[in-house]
Amino acid sequence: MEARLVDGLGRGQTHWIRPPPQGMSLSARPFGRTETRVMAQIKGHRIFLTGAGGGMGRCIAAMFAKRGATLGLTDSSERDLGQTIASLGAEAGIPWSRVLDVTDASAVDAAVRGFAAEAGGLDLVVNAAGILAVAKVVDMDPAEWRRVLE
């Protein structure tokens, strides 16, 4: 069986890698040739990330941190953002971070500019911030519709 690693490089690429030896977790296995090439592409990239406080955003932050990217991490929750930063480990250093409401236009502008100025440029932005709500349309409060869309 082959393990599949999909990297969010924005090019729809899928990288196939050999499965880890018996008993070794995927994250613990040494980097293969393909993985080394992907790391070389990402190392030093200045990456701005929203929704970094949990779920896929936290996972993406860890993936890029492991590959030597310069990260700008944002989330609406200071507590969740702090947990993500703590989870990255010491080798990631202390990444640039900011509590950010992505629906606040001026705050978003200031955060993106602030990170780009600090990092000396901007190579990649990942919009991982999002919310999910569950309701039948016939019961849905218009405010709930606006909260999810806007």
Partner 1 sequence: MNATGTFLVAKAAARVMIAAGTPGSIVNISLISGKVRDPTLAHYSASKFAVIGFTQSLAREVAEHGITVNAICPGIVATPMIDHLARAWGRSVAEFV
Task: Answer yes or no whether residue 26 interacts with partner 1 by CB under 8 A.
Answer: no
Q: Return the residue of 9, 24, 26, 40 that touches partner 1, per CB under 8 A.
A: 9
Minimum distance from CB of 42 to partner 1 (Å)? 11
Q: Which stretch binds partner 1 (CB under 8 A): 4-12, 22-30, 62-70, 86-94?
A: 4-12
Residue keyed to tokens 């999910």: 132
* Residues 95-124, mask of contacts with partner 1 (x by CB under 8 A): -------xxxx--xx-xxx--x----xxxx
- Tokens encoding 139: 């019961």
Residue 121 · residue 70 · CB < 8 Å: no
Residue 130 · residue 150 · CB < 8 Å: no
Residue 60: Cβ-neighbour burial (10 angstroms; 0-12, 13-18, 19+): buried
Task: Answer yes or no whether residue 25 interacts with partner 1 by CB under 8 A.
Answer: no
Interface with partner 1: number of residues (CB under 8 A): 45
Q: Which is nearer to partner 1, 88 or 128 (CB)?
A: 128
Residue 46 · residue 73 · CB < 8 Å: no
Q: How far is CA 81 from CA 16, 19, 41, 52, 54, in A?
A: 31, 32, 26, 6, 8
Q: Which is nearer to partner 1, 53 or 95 (CB)?
A: 53
Site for partner 1 in 30-89 (CB under 8 A): 48, 50-51, 54-56
Residue 10 · residue 85 · CB < 8 Å: no
Minimum distance from CB of 3 to partner 1 (Å)? 16
Phi, psi of 48 (to 5 degrees): -100, 130
Residue ranges binding partner 1 (CB under 8 A): 8-12, 48, 50-51, 54-56, 102-105, 108-109, 111-113, 116, 121-137, 140, 144-145, 147-150
